[in-house]
Chains A and B, each alone.
Chain A
Amino acid sequence: MSIPRIAIDGVTKYYGQTLVLDEVSLDVAPHEVVCLIGASGSGKSTLLRCINRLVDFDHGEIRLDGISVEDAQFGHTGLQKRIGIVFQSYNLFPHMSVLDNITLAPRKVHKIAREAAEARARELLGLFGMAEHALSYPEQLSGGQQQRVAIMRSLATRPEVLLLDEVTAALDPELIGEVLRIIRQLKDEGMTMVIVTHEMGFARDVADSVCFLEGGRILERGDPKTMFAAPQNERTEKFLQRIIEAGRL
């Protein structure tokens, strides 16, 4: 069996006295799309942020292609180059144009020449239908457009893994589709993704497998169609019941 792209192995994380991740283990194969679902505070966002070390964990190990993310060979920037992350609130730099937002890390962190970085950025903008917005500033764009730029920014260094943290949660309903389309496009190109989402319909559609988290543990993992139709764990069932009542599935 081949090594998983991401191997999470018994990861535990405390915030002060609060246990947020309780010996979580999860393997993500290359080109696999895994959705993390669960109520707020279940630890799914924290787990996501542990993968690219935005948050440090207390015990356990996370490996990228078999090498611990804490290994010195990644240095300060190696991991960030290979794992991109997109946030709920876009977090674009408001004082920079779209082009500068996308090229900042390639130029300043990875020392790529401006021409090459901008060529890559324009390629991405063209690919995702935003070529005419290269020189716009974030506040001139809709939420959906900003989130698309945020995705492109994370793709600028050609990462092998993309982490998506509730990327549609801050968007108006009519803008969610354009962001989900891009994610689907990335899946078709073979991107490995770990997605925290409340869009159950999307999870069912795009995920190869879904993990239900509660209290810092993965209670159930399965392929979405089976799990949504017949959850094995009664906690999963209750959660899905609430989601259905809220009209989100």
Chain B
Amino acid sequence: MSAMPAAPEGTPPDGAAARRPLPPRPRNEWRAAVRPAIISLVSIVIVFGGLALWITSSAQWPRVQLQFFNLDAMIAAFPRVLQGFWVSMRIWLTALLCIGLWALVLAVVRSLRSPWFTPFRLMVVVYIDIFRGIPVLLLVLLFGFGIPALNLPGLPNSGLFWGSVAMVLSYSAYVAEIYRSGIDAVHEGQWAAAKSLGLSEWQTMIYAVLPQALRNVLPALMNIVVALQKDVALLSVIGVRDAVREAQIYTAQTFNYSSLVVAAGLFLLATIPMARLADYVTRKDRERRLQRAG
């Protein structure tokens, strides 16, 4: 037998408010949801199909296809371009690591406040001015051709090494400024709190400021990561056998440009996921900030 007191008629026993009949649902709900999707699809097919038809039906299309989208040439060039691409990605990862660390050193030195660091702060300012002001390509040429030609004793002599050094030096100037903006964005009260607890300036930087600063600038850094991924192709001009160089070699032998399209495709395969990741990190960061503000 139920111990529950008799509910008044029409009231459900779970105590919820008396149920009234639901208002009529809008009919054809699925149609309302599906219709825009179908329209989009049809529109895409019409526009892109039309464009494709127009392009491929033009008189010059077979020549374009032969030069840029020649399947046989693509297959023939693929193994070597892929090998070159692997070189590109290894340069990218190594440079990334070096830039991340070197730029951090630059940014920290520039942000330290003690008067003893003045000469070092000055050096960093000059460094950033110089390396941000010179085109990367010029630096790559200067380092990649110039330094190996000096035959400096005890130093590596490869264009690959010195070209990468040029990339690292140049990118570090930008990344150092990004780090520094993150350091500057850490509230003054954090410095006051750390100082009043007896932390030295260095300890304040390591334990209190940098962890917050790095989190602040993560989205900006992700964009640099993507940009660097493509810019390693600049090293091809000094003869590094990366994806672009390998594709060029094939082109020079066959007068067919499909190998370059293969290289382009490989770069897109790498950069588009990185760009999506960057978007994701940016979105997460914004959510975190909004949460904190709210």
Chain A residues with CB under 8 Å of chain B are: 52, 54, 76-77, 79-81, 84-85, 87, 89, 91-95, 104-105, 108-110, 139, 153-154, 157
Q: How far is the CA of A108 from the CA of B202 in the complex (A)?
A: 11
The answer to whether B193 touches A110 (Cβ under 8 A) is no
Which one of A54, A84, A108, A153 contacts B207 once the chains associate, using CB atoms below 8 Å?
A108
CB distance from B291 to the nearest CB of A (A): 8
CB distance from B112 to the nearest CB of A (A): 15
Chain B residues with CB under 8 Å of chain A are: 187, 189-190, 192-193, 195-200, 203, 207-208, 211-212, 215, 291-292
Q: How far is the CA of A162 from the CA of B269 in the complex (A)?
A: 60
Name the 9 nearest CB pairs between A and B, nearest first. A80-B198, A77-B198, A91-B193, A105-B197, A91-B189, A109-B198, A85-B196, A95-B211, A93-B208
The answer to whether B199 touches A87 (Cβ under 8 A) is no
The answer to whether B203 touches A109 (Cβ under 8 A) is yes
Q: How far is the CA of A15 from the CA of B189 in the complex (A)?
A: 18
Chain B residues positioned under 8 Å from A77 (CB to CB): 198
Q: How far is the CA of A104 from the CA of B208 in the complex (A)?
A: 10
8 CB contacts below 8 A, A to B, read A81-B198, A85-B196, A94-B212, A108-B203, A109-B203, A110-B198, A139-B291, A154-B196
Chain B residues positioned under 8 Å from A139 (CB to CB): 291-292
The answer to whether B189 touches A89 (Cβ under 8 A) is yes
Most chain A beta-carbon neighbours within 10 Å: one of B193, B195, B207: B193
Seed contacts A92-B193, A104-B207; 9 additional CB < 8 Å A-B pairs: A54-B196, A76-B198, A80-B197, A91-B189, A93-B193, A105-B198, A109-B203, A139-B292, A157-B198
Chain A residues positioned under 8 Å from B212 (CB to CB): 93-95
The answer to whether B193 touches A87 (Cβ under 8 A) is yes
The answer to whether A87 touches B189 (Cβ under 8 A) is yes
Which one of A91, A108, A153 contacts B190 once the chains associate, using CB atoms below 8 Å?
A91
Which one of A91, A93, A154 contacts B192 once the chains associate, using CB atoms below 8 Å?
A91
CB distance from A141 to the nearest CB of B (A): 12
Among residues of B, the one whose C-beta sits closest to the C-beta of A150 is: B193
Chain B residues positioned under 8 Å from A52 (CB to CB): 196
CB distance from A120 to the nearest CB of B (A): 14
Q: How far is the CA of A94 from the CA of B207 in the complex (A)?
A: 11
CB distance from A235 to the nearest CB of B (A): 30
Among residues of B, the one whose C-beta sits closest to the C-beta of A100 is: B207
Chain A residues positioned under 8 Å from B215 (CB to CB): 95
CB distance from A117 to the nearest CB of B (A): 13
Most chain A beta-carbon neighbours within 10 Å: one of B192, B195, B198, B199: B198
Among residues of A, the one whose C-beta sits closest to the C-beta of B188 is: A91
CB distance from B124 to the nearest CB of A (A): 25
Q: How far is the CA of A157 from the CA of B199 in the complex (A)?
A: 13
The answer to whether B199 touches A109 (Cβ under 8 A) is yes
